[in-house]
Structure 1
Amino acid sequence: MEKLTEENSLEAKDLENDSIGQECKELISTLPLEKSWIFNQCHQYQGFWIVTKNLQGLLSCQKHFQTLDTDILLATAPKSGTTWLKALTFALLNRHKYHSKNHPLLTSNPHSLVPYLEHLYLDKDVVPNLNSLSPPRLFSTHVPYESVPKSMKESTCKVVYLSRDPKDMFVSLWHFTNKIRAQQSRGTVPLEEVFESFCKGVSPFGPFWEHVLGYWKESLERPEKVMFIKFEEIKIKPTFYLKMIAEFLGFPFSNDEESKGVVDDILNLCSFEMLSNLEVNKTGTSVPITGIENKAFFRRGEVGDWKNHLTPEMSERLNTIIKQKLGKYGLSF
């Protein structure tokens, strides 16, 4: 009863928010409710947990966004290498437009250059006009495939989905959560508490395994439309996968470009070491819905950091869950 009372209080607080339209408020009142890791609350919409502020943007996006066949969508679950994927893709698509000395990535955070699609629709009173954007229009999303706009599913636009070992993703998400809570002058949340929540499927845009599975299945059924890659694989063979992404998107590197080191230049520009040390990524904010500081998006960018945080029992529990949920579909980490 105590939990229910607390959740009702959180719900009332968010429903008073002027940024949420009446249609969204009416829907929210019918949806399952849980405490959010970072913000007040999240609701289960189309099978996934979405924070209230994001839900307004998602509903408007589903209703109004019209996909072009030339559009490109970068999809990830939170903390799966999103910032890196945005930087790499923006750089490869614009390699003929910008040179290393005046590149936008040197002065703008990747999240400013590649906006979250659902965030463009956050204003309940304004439908953005995206027709002025030159093709290919490049967007990103944390939204599960089940919830992307219908026009996107029906089009021949390209989708690149980057996945990550759930143990590393969880640890990164926990650190990210506490960074934001500290920014909001709220207390940190214990690892054990959010681990239980994660294992139950209650996490930002979770359950994690359903998020991954939606894009994985689509990549098997429509490989010409959805490319499914893993963070760990790109870390091992960055040159191979950058060229693979470029080929998939229809912007392959020429032999001349490769011989001149264009691929290496992009990888160097978009490396964790380069991006994390830029002044623009140490100050300011780039994601309007949250006001999250740019520096919060950069921590370690490594593979296997979970070993420094999870107990053997936690690791085994997550391994078991992922095997049960994804194994029968031929997907493993």
Structure 2
Amino acid sequence: LTNRNRLSNTKAGSHLSTFSVANSGSDMEFCEVSEESKQRYLSRVPKAFVLDDTILPGLLFSSESILSSKETTQLEQDDVVIASYPKSGTTWASEIVSAIAYEADIELLNRTKMEDRVTWLEVDKSRLPAESMFHASKRRSASPPARKRIWFTHLHVDHLPDAVKEGKCKLIYVARNPKDQAVSSFHFHRSARFLGLRTDMTWNEFFSHFRSGFICFGSWFNHVLPYWKFIRNNPKAKLIRYEDMQRNLLAEIKSLEEFIEVPLMIDQRLKIAEHCSFESMKNNKMTNR
């Protein structure tokens, strides 16, 4: 299929020729990406499609799975949804919140894979190979009991399940300095199969796409700002920063336990801080998605 056909192969998709990028207060000439670079980027992302002017990787999602998660996901009052732009600390935040929900039962956490504790809202199982870890994330039946059910998503705020926007559960948004996020995302583009294994992509090429928003999951600015606006007036939503977790992890653990209403003792917080340290996370196979 041509890029144009691939992009139009969804009722929610839009053609490359009509793709637009919001001018988030910056000079659009500075953000311009050549048509050649756009075509090259799209041709390398397997089954790429566009939903509401945002490029998404078709090996993981479909417009149907995203719209279905929005309309049919049943969330309860005690559920927690963790949202972020990719490479902003989602896995780290998921492990922290999961450890709080398990009341610092580190032994149990170390026996339970991340995908069995934190469900990916929008993933389309029909597009995944049978051995994919994310099939487990939709089963949940084998998952040991925790104080909270936890979900994560990279969706734009407009595509969140209705229950989240109606305040029927808690929302945590993880934000990261875009300079660091961009560097992490660049390396991820070069290593992730669902993004095309772009080992030939240069930093200059990537950064042009990042600035323009012509990139998987869209513009960082257009993702973060709507969430920030949503959170400002929503007592059941909370924004946390990657840098704050780096600076004072214990304080962030305490803030999160209060937000999701799972009170811990100081010794439990210390256990979680040690479990969720950089070195521990790096060596813990149960936290790797």
1:103 is the counterpart of 2:108 = yes
Task: Read off the aligned partner of 1:80 and give its amino acid letter.
Answer: S
Give the match for residue 117 of structure 1. Answer: 121
Task: Give distance in 2, aligned partners of 1:29 and 1:49.
Answer: 10
Decide whether aligned partners of structure 1 residues 46 and 9 sit closer, same or farther in structure 2, where only a CA change above 3 A counts.
closer
Give the gaps of 5 or more residues in structure 2.
Answer: 20-37, 128-137
Decide whether aligned partners of structure 1 residues 38 and 144 sit closer, same or farther in structure 2, where only a CA change above 3 A counts.
farther
The answer to whether the 8 A contact 1:77-1:163 is kept is: yes
Q: Which has the higher contact order (CA 8 A, sep 6+)?
A: 2
Task: Read off the aligned partner of 1:245 and give its amino acid letter.
Answer: L
Instruction: Give the superposition deviation at 1:158.
Output: 0.6
Residue 275 (structure 1) aligned to one of 272, 281, 284: 281
* 3-state DSSP of counterpart to 2:55: strand
Task: Give distance in 1, aligned partners of 2:233 and 2:108.
Answer: 37
TM-score, with structure 1 as normaliser: 0.67
Instruction: Give the superposition deviation at 1:80.
Output: 0.3
1:46 is the counterpart of 2:42 = no
Instruction: Give the superposition deviation at 1:181.
Output: 4.8
1:28 is the counterpart of 2:13 = yes
Give the match for residue 188 of structure 2. Answer: 176
Cα displacement string for residues 188-226 of structure 1 (whole angstroms, at most 9, x for unaligned residues): 31111110011011223221111111111111111x111
Between the aligned residues of both structures, percent identity stands at 25
Give the gaps of 5 or more residues in structure 1.
Answer: 16-24, 282-293, 298-333
Which runs of 4 or more aligned residues in structure 1 lie more than 4 Å from their structure 2 counterparts after TM superposition? 9-12, 29-34, 128-135, 181-186
* 3-state DSSP of counterpart to 2:270: helix
* 3-state DSSP of counterpart to 2:192: helix
1:228 is the counterpart of 2:234 = no
Task: Give distance in 2, aligned partners of 1:195 and 1:225.
Answer: 35
Cα displacement string for residues 288-314 of structure 1 (whole angstroms, at most 9, x for unaligned residues): xxxxxx4xx7xxxxxxxxxxxxxxxxx
* 3-state DSSP of counterpart to 1:123: helix
Task: Read off the aligned partner of 2:79 and give its amino acid letter.
Answer: D
Decide whether aligned partners of structure 1 residues 122 and 29 sit closer, same or farther in structure 2, where only a CA change above 3 A counts.
farther
The answer to whether the 8 A contact 2:7-2:15 is kept is: no
Task: Read off the aligned partner of 1:190 and give its amino acid letter.
Answer: T
Decide whether aligned partners of structure 1 residues 132 and 187 sit closer, same or farther in structure 2, where only a CA change above 3 A counts.
closer
1:63 is the counterpart of 2:71 = yes
Task: Give distance in 2, aligned partners of 1:67 and 1:38.
Answer: 35
Give the match for residue 4 of structure 2. Answer: 8
Decide whether aligned partners of structure 1 residues 195 and 186 sit closer, same or farther in structure 2, where only a CA change above 3 A counts.
closer
